[in-house]
Amino acid sequence: MQAFWFGVIAVLWAGFFVLEGFDLGVGVLLPVVGRTDVDRRVAIRAIGPVWDGNEVWLLTAGGATFAAFPAWYAGVFSGFYLAFVLLLVGLILRGIGIEYRGKAETARGRQWCDVAFVLGSFLPALLLGVAFANFIRGVKLDSEGNMTNTFFSLLSPYALLGGIVTLTLFTFHGAVYLALRTTGEVHDAARRVIPVLGVITGVAAVAFLAWTAGVRGGWVSFVLAVVVALAFVASLDLAVKGREGAAFAASAVTTLLVPIWVFAALWPNVLPARNNAALSLTVHNASSSPYTLKVMTVVALVMTPIVLVYQAWSYWVFRARVTGADLDHDAYGSGAVGRTIAKARQSASELLGKPEPATVIEEVVTSPGDPRPPAP
Amino acid sequence: MNATTLARWQFATTTIYHFLIVPLSIGLTLLVATMQTIAYLKRGTPAAEVWDRASRFWGRIMLVLFALGIVTGIVQEFQFGMNWSVYSRFVGDIFGAPLAMEALIAFFLESTFLGLWIFGRGLLSPRLHLATIWLAAIGTVISAYFILAANSFMQHPVGLKYSAAHHRLELTSIWKVLTNSTQLVTFPHTILAALFTAGAILISVSAWHLRRAGRDGTAADPVHRKVAALGLGVVLVSAVGVSLVGHLQGQIMTKQQPMKMAAAEALWTDKTHAPFSLFAYGDVTNGKNKFNITIPDGLSILATNNPGGLVEGINDIQKDAVNKYGPGDYTPIVGLAYWTFRLMIGFGVLGALIAAAMAVQWRRGRMQSSQKLLRIATWSVLLPLLANTAGWLFTETARQPWVVFGLLKTQDAVSPNVGTGFVAFSLVGFTALYGVLGVICFRISKRIAQAGPEPQAQPVPGPTDDVLSLV
């Protein structure tokens, strides 16, 4: 069961990487794809309904680690203290930047939200790679399982390269996501940036994968590394060719496999000790009791399919590409009613064989934060 | 100022801040869901339109607060590992499970369905859209259940055994942890307090609008009258509920943590016919009170349902604790326990009284014209917010020196490898960030609240009405 839970946590991190990966990527890309206010709103609207549910994968990975491997949770979270503080600050800024942008009254307010959103995406994207690289490289542990590294020792070239890999990979994944989920300027800007991003990511990733093979891991992780690289190349190729759905599927496979590959390289360690291999935290010495693992297994087996079903359903509900017109039809304002009527009118004209009527603004639509419309 | 003290300050400030928002998140999602349900059930009638506008208006306010609750919540989950690694290793086998369940069962539910509620209004049928806000609300309540089960374990450890081989506590029964007698009173007490808080904010904002309309001589938006009535009902019912459950909770606490309740009452020596203290001024070093205004037999009745019942006192419990656990100071800060307990009750009672006064005026049809009462009522949400804070300060500080009662002391639980400088950095950092965000959140909420609901929806003019019949 310890092995099973090692796998569960790998899967939870994989879910987090594939889903939050593109959220973070969209954030990092905002200055590039969002030249105007409308474009920025389109980009944010592409992740708006799903970013919070995506972030929960991180909380579940953390919670599951606490429940199944408390010594690992304690060792990592206290040992990487400063990194976690910065990660938390990033996540806080990002969440507030996304949620308050529509409620800001002034352009200046919106700008601050954008800064928060971008910075709050950049920091986690970078720090996650640095952290995972350090897991692979190993840390200094004492006999109680406490990390004794200095903060700066966590910023080795290998770790920094790891950070660059996640940063560029998430940004690439975000660009591929935007190319699939938006239209107009944002879509075009995302497509333009993909080739450059792809090359930088590819170089960093291949370097990191190759370097890792020399640091830790066996043939399983090596095979997975090759698959990750191939999936990435496929994604870049498909994206450049304009096959947006397939490209996203491939980049999803890539980002999803990265944590799986990391965990395969780590096995059976969870937190290797560079200073003395005997002090490493492993699936055997860091896990909870068999009873706890059994309880959590039952909960996980029951709940995970349910969560996957309704999260998948929510993505299906929001499957339509985001256009500028959607922004006026936010749930906050009365615009949603107008949109439904506009859709009905369009279907009616089609049914009756009449040409579609010219778009007339019949109702002043509002978005959160816009000043109240004048009475008609 | 050592690392332990700083870590304690950080946990206290981040938790109190988080818990200013959380009761509003829980309560408002439930109440917004209620408003939207009323609108749905009454669809086709004029009242439906009022409740629909009410649910959208209050939904906007709810979301501003909810966002701050989410971001501050992540800090809470991570902080156990970051600052309290010894604690995490010692109790993680038990404590980690409810936290993991909270994320898997509750957080996914509330986040996914809140996103569906915010953005799905035009995409989902009205029934399905209504279901999304209810599922989000249920998610917040389930979340409360798990985290309170975890906290209840700290107050009254159950379902465990000690493993000498692993130097840690191990879970023997998840069922016992989830149905801990402490939990069975703490959970309803907290949910009722959340409803009290949400009802109070409904009253505060509605009162502000009603007062302005009364002052200007205009007719108030009907939304505010209906929402005020809903708020009053919720506050009054939850005030009664939270007191009754709180009383049971006090009795259970007296059995499980006698020192906590003795400190809450500034009772220094064991007493039968123990008096209830209304106001005490203590001489802590000498273990007695300098003066104390009391109600005879009151504490015995409250604690044991019997005027002659024995209630243990601080000094005697301290002696017993030394015998049981070895030398040490097992007395919390008595003044802090005493006053936070009283302030929690006092603020709550005051909030309920204001609601009661407003209810009387409402029955008389004079609510809108009672300018002075409406002005007081505008501030009323502060009272449950202060009561909630006082309550948590009480239950956590009066448990000291224990972090897990009887099993692990707070001073032994902190991360040994996180230096003072690091903790100081994060304490200052989070405090500053939370301060800025709090101001922003308040200003945005205030602006949305004062702007009021959208005006009545205008009928959409179209070339033919036939089109509308297809909708």
Of A290, A311, A326, the last residue of a domain is A326
Query: Cα separation of B3 and A247, whole Å?
Result: 49
pLDDT value of position A352:
56
Q: Which of B93, B418, B460 is the closest to A341 by Cβ?
A: B460
pLDDT value of position A358:
43
Mean pLDDT, residues A198-219? 92
Q: Which of A73, A329, A368 is the closest to B122 by Cβ?
A: A329
pLDDT value of position A94:
97
Q: Hey, are the CB atoms on A49 and B120 less than 8 Å from each other?
A: yes
Q: What is the mean pLDDT of chain A?
A: 88
User: Does residue A375 carry a pLDDT above 60?
Assistant: no
Nearest chain B Cα distance for residue A217, angstroms: 27
Q: Which among B138, B417, B428, B446 is the top mutation candidate for probing chain A, defined by the most A β-carbons within 10 Å of its own β-carbon?
A: B417
How long is chain B? Answer: 471
Q: How far is CA A184 from CA A140, A147, A189, A190, B442, in A?
A: 51, 49, 9, 10, 36
Computed over its alpha carbons, how large is the radius of gyration of chain A?
23
Q: Hey, are the CB atoms on B417 and A146 less than 8 Å from each other?
A: yes
Judgement on whether residues A36 and A185 belong to the same structural domain of the protein = yes
The predicted-structure confidence for A222-246, as pLDDT tens digits, reads as follows: 999 999 999 999 999 999 999 999 9
pLDDT value of position A344:
53
Q: What sections of A155-269 are H helices per DSSP?
A: 157-181, 184-215, 219-240, 244-266
Residues B453 and B221: beta-carbon distance below 8 Å: yes
Judgement on whether residues A220 and A361 belong to the same structural domain of the protein = no
Q: Hey, are the CB atoms on A318 and B468 less than 8 Å from each other?
A: no
Mean pLDDT, residues B387-398? 97
Q: What is the extent of the structural domain holding A52?
A: 2-326
Nearest chain B Cα distance for residue A290, angstroms: 9
Q: Which of A58, A95, A289 is the closest to B71 by Cβ?
A: A95
Nearest chain B Cα distance for residue A99, angstroms: 7
Residues B109 and B139: beta-carbon distance below 8 Å: yes
State whether residue A103 sits within 8 Å of chain B by CB: yes
Q: What are the b/e assignments for A5-33, b being 16+ CB within 10 Å?
A: bbebbbbbbbbbbbbbbbbbbbbbbbebb
Q: Hey, are the CB atoms on A341 and B467 less than 8 Å from each other?
A: yes
Mean pLDDT, residues A136-144? 94
Q: Is B294 helix (H, G, I), strand (E, B) or coil?
A: strand
Confidence of residue A374 (pLDDT cuts 50, 70, 90): very low
Q: Hey, are the CB atoms on A331 and B172 less than 8 Å from each other?
A: no
Q: What is the mean pLDDT of chain B?
A: 93
pLDDT value of position B105:
97
Query: Cα separation of B388 and B347, whole Å?
Result: 9
The predicted-structure confidence for B106-130, as pLDDT tens digits, reads as follows: 999 999 999 999 999 989 999 999 9
Confidence of residue A328 (pLDDT cuts 50, 70, 90): low
Nearest alpha-carbon partner for A169 in A235, A74, A119: A235
Confidence of residue A170 (pLDDT cuts 50, 70, 90): very high
State whether residue B49 sits within 8 Å of chain A by CB: no
Nearest chain A Cα distance for residue B118, angstroms: 6
User: Does residue A359 carry a pLDDT above 60?
Assistant: no
Would you call the peptide bond into B401 cis, given omega within 30 degrees of 0 as the criterion?
Answer: yes
User: Does residue B38 carry a pLDDT above 90?
Assistant: yes
What is the DSSP track for B172-217?
Answer: S-HHHHHT-HHHHHHHHHHHHHHHHHHHHHHHHHHHHHHHHHHHHT
pLDDT value of position B345:
96
Q: Which among B21, B36, B71 is the top mutation candidate for probing chain A, defined by the most A β-carbons within 10 Å of its own β-carbon?
A: B71
Contacts of B115 in chain A (CB under 8 A): 48-53, 314
User: Does residue A361 carry a pLDDT above 50?
Assistant: no
State whether residue B450 sits within 8 Å of chain A by CB: no
Percent of chain A with pLDDT over 90: 81
Residues B453 and B209: beta-carbon distance below 8 Å: no
State the residue for tokens 């993680």.
B92
Torsions phi, psi of A325, nearest 5?
-65, -30
Judgement on whether residues A322 and A334 belong to the same structural domain of the protein = no
What is the DSSP track for A349-372?
Answer: HHHHTPPPPPP---S----TTSPP
Judgement on whether residues A83 and A33 belong to the same structural domain of the protein = yes
Contacts of A147 in chain B (CB under 8 A): 417
DSSP category for residue A102: T
Kindly tell me the burial class for residue A229, based on how many C-beta atoms sit within 10 Å of its own C-beta (0-12, 13-18, 19 or more). middle
Beta strands B408-409 and B402-404: pairing type?
Answer: antiparallel
Q: Which among A2, A9, A93, A96 is the top mutation candidate for probing chain B, defined by the most B β-carbons within 10 Å of its own β-carbon?
A: A96
Q: Which of A66, A289, A329 is the closest to B100 by Cβ?
A: A66
Contacts of A131 in chain B (CB under 8 A): none
pLDDT value of position A346:
52
Kindly tell me the burial class for residue A271, based on how many C-beta atoms sit within 10 Å of its own C-beta (0-12, 13-18, 19 or more). buried
Judgement on whether residues A322 and A350 belong to the same structural domain of the protein = no
pLDDT value of position B432:
97
Interface of B with A in 133-192 (CB under 8 A): 163, 166, 168, 170-172, 174
Residues A211 and A221: beta-carbon distance below 8 Å: no
User: Does residue B309 carry a pLDDT above 50?
Assistant: yes
pLDDT value of position A347:
55
Torsions phi, psi of B277, nearest 5?
-90, 130
Contacts of A341 in chain B (CB under 8 A): 460, 462, 467-468, 471
Nearest alpha-carbon partner for B58 in B39, B80, B77, B81: B39
- Which amino acid does the sequence have at A165? V
pLDDT value of position A215:
87
User: Does residue A341 carry a pLDDT above 60?
Assistant: no
Residues B35 and B227: beta-carbon distance below 8 Å: yes
Confidence of residue B154 (pLDDT cuts 50, 70, 90): very high
Interface of B with A in 396-425 (CB under 8 A): 415-418, 422, 425
Q: Hey, are the CB atoms on A331 and B117 less than 8 Å from each other?
A: yes
Residues A164 and A22: beta-carbon distance below 8 Å: no
DSSP category for residue B124: S
Contacts of B83 in chain A (CB under 8 A): 78
Beta strands B288-295 and B402-404: pairing type?
Answer: unpaired
Judgement on whether residues A228 and A361 belong to the same structural domain of the protein = no
Judgement on whether residues A280 and A319 belong to the same structural domain of the protein = yes
Q: Which residues are paired to B402 by β-bridges?
A: B409
State whether residue A348 sits within 8 Å of chain B by CB: yes
Q: Which residues are paired to B291 by β-bridges?
A: B281
pLDDT value of position B164:
94
Mean pLDDT, residues A123-148? 95
Computed over its alpha carbons, how large is the radius of gyration of chain B?
25
State whether residue B248 sits within 8 Å of chain A by CB: no
Judgement on whether residues A361 and A373 belong to the same structural domain of the protein = yes
Contacts of B123 in chain A (CB under 8 A): 317-318
The predicted-structure confidence for A94-103, as pLDDT tens digits, reads as follows: 999 999 999 9
State whether residue A336 sits within 8 Å of chain B by CB: yes
Of A326, A341, A359, the last residue of a domain is A326
Nearest alpha-carbon partner for B250 in B324, B301, B195, B198: B301
Judgement on whether residues A173 and A212 belong to the same structural domain of the protein = yes
Q: What are the b/e assignments for A74-112, b being 16+ CB within 10 Å?
A: bbbbbbbbbbbbbbbbbbbbbbbbbbbbbbbeeeebbeb
Confidence of residue A186 (pLDDT cuts 50, 70, 90): very high
pLDDT value of position B461:
42
State whether residue B471 sits within 8 Å of chain A by CB: yes
Judgement on whether residues A350 and A272 belong to the same structural domain of the protein = no
Percent of chain A with pLDDT over 70: 87
The predicted-structure confidence for A20-39, as pLDDT tens digits, reads as follows: 999 999 999 999 999 999 99
Q: Hey, are the CB atoms on B116 and A336 less than 8 Å from each other?
A: no
Contacts of A356 in chain B (CB under 8 A): none
Residues A116 and A94: beta-carbon distance below 8 Å: yes
pLDDT value of position A343:
52
Nearest alpha-carbon partner for B406 in B330, B312, B296, B470: B330
State whether residue A289 sits within 8 Å of chain B by CB: yes
The predicted-structure confidence for B191-234, as pLDDT tens digits, reads as follows: 999 999 999 999 999 999 999 999 988 889 999 999 999 999 99
Interface of A with B in 154-193 (CB under 8 A): none
Of A326, A342, A358, the last residue of a domain is A326
- The distance from CA A87 to its chain's CA centroid, rounded to whole angstroms, is 13
State the residue for tokens 């015995």.
B300
Total number of domains constituting chain A: 2
Judgement on whether residues A142 and A205 belong to the same structural domain of the protein = yes
Q: Which of B101, B444, B463 is the closest to A299 by Cβ?
A: B101
State whether residue B465 sits within 8 Å of chain A by CB: no
Q: How far is CA B315 from CA A75, B263, B282, B319, B418, in A?
A: 39, 10, 13, 6, 36
pLDDT value of position A338:
41
Q: How many A-B residue pairs are in contact by the CB < 8 A criterion?
A: 260
* Minimum CA–CA partner of A319 in chain B: B123
Q: Tokens for A130, please give them.
A: 């640095």
How many of the other CB atoms lie within 10 Å of CB of A165? 25
How many of the other CB atoms lie within 10 Å of CB of B329? 10
Mean pLDDT, residues B431-458? 92
Interface of B with A in 76-115 (CB under 8 A): 77-78, 80-83, 85-86, 88-89, 91-97, 99-105, 107-109, 111-115
Nearest chain B Cα distance for residue A232, angstroms: 29
Query: Cα separation of B253 and B154, whole Å?
Result: 13
Contacts of B77 in chain A (CB under 8 A): 59, 62-63
Residues A94 and A124: beta-carbon distance below 8 Å: yes
Beta strands B408-409 and B310-311: pairing type?
Answer: unpaired
What's the ipTM?
0.92
Query: Cα separation of B340 and A137, whole Å?
Result: 49
pLDDT value of position A357:
46
Q: Hey, are the CB atoms on A375 and B120 less than 8 Å from each other?
A: no
Query: Cα separation of B280 and B277, whole Å?
Result: 7
Kindly tell me the burial class for residue A237, based on how many C-beta atoms sit within 10 Å of its own C-beta (0-12, 13-18, 19 or more). middle
Torsions phi, psi of B102, nearest 5?
-60, -45
Contacts of A103 in chain B (CB under 8 A): 64, 444, 448
- The distance from CA B376 to its chain's CA centroid, rounded to whole angstroms, is 22
pLDDT value of position A350:
55
Beta strands B271-272 and B288-295: pairing type?
Answer: unpaired
pLDDT value of position B284:
84
DSSP category for residue B461: P
User: Does residue A73 carry a pLDDT above 80?
Assistant: yes
Lowest mean pLDDT among A302-306, B110-114, B285-289: B285-289
Confidence of residue A335 (pLDDT cuts 50, 70, 90): very low
Judgement on whether residues A123 and A165 belong to the same structural domain of the protein = yes
Q: Angle at CA B303, nearest 5°, toward B301 and B308?
A: 45
Residues B3 and B414: beta-carbon distance below 8 Å: yes
pLDDT value of position A214:
87
Q: Is B277 helix (H, G, I), strand (E, B) or coil?
A: strand
Q: Which of B71, B170, B457 is the closest to A92 by Cβ?
A: B71
State whether residue A66 sits within 8 Å of chain B by CB: yes
How many of the other CB atoms lie within 10 Å of CB of B11? 21
